[in-house]
Amino acid sequence: MKHANYYVLSEICSALERIPDDKAELVARTSPGDEAALRDIIRSFILPDFLRLTEGSQQKCKDSLSYFLTTGEAPFGKLLAGLQDSPLGVVTEPAKFFLWVWLELFPTEDYHVDTTGWNVENRRERAGLFWKT
């Protein structure tokens, strides 16, 4: 059985809260609807963080991201707004931001999945990810 948890989406983006000070001003000046600039931010900060995750955690991210992009049932804006220490301003279209995350993390794969029989459990305590040692 596949599992999805929208708090995993927040964990994927948590790298935005650890942007170094010397890059934070540039990120803060990014236009909230500029796809090219936002995708560059995803490539620069979220992708490297994702690649440091264990294979199991990467799969957890992929499953949750594909489920919620397919169904549209995640509070995408709320999840981004919860990144309080991120210099990134309010993104104009949060659902599109998560689509761009998918496109940067899994560029050759379609996110659409059959959502029949999935276990959806939106609990922060179940969203933990693990990094390679």
User: Helix/strand/coil (H, E, C) string of the chain?
Assistant: CCEECHHHHHHHHHHHHHCCHHHHHHHHCCCCCCHHHHHHHHHHHHHHHHHCECHHHHHHHHHHHHHHHHHCCCCHHHHHHCCCCCCCCCCCCHHHHHHHHHHHHCCCCCCCCCCCCCEECCCHHHCCCCECC
What are the φ/ψ torsions at residue 114 (nearest 5 degrees)? -80, 115
pTM for the whole structure = 0.93
Provide the pLDDT confidence category of residue 133 given band limits of 50, 70 and 90: confident
Provide the pLDDT confidence category of residue 122 given band limits of 50, 70 and 90: confident
What's residue 131's pLDDT? 84
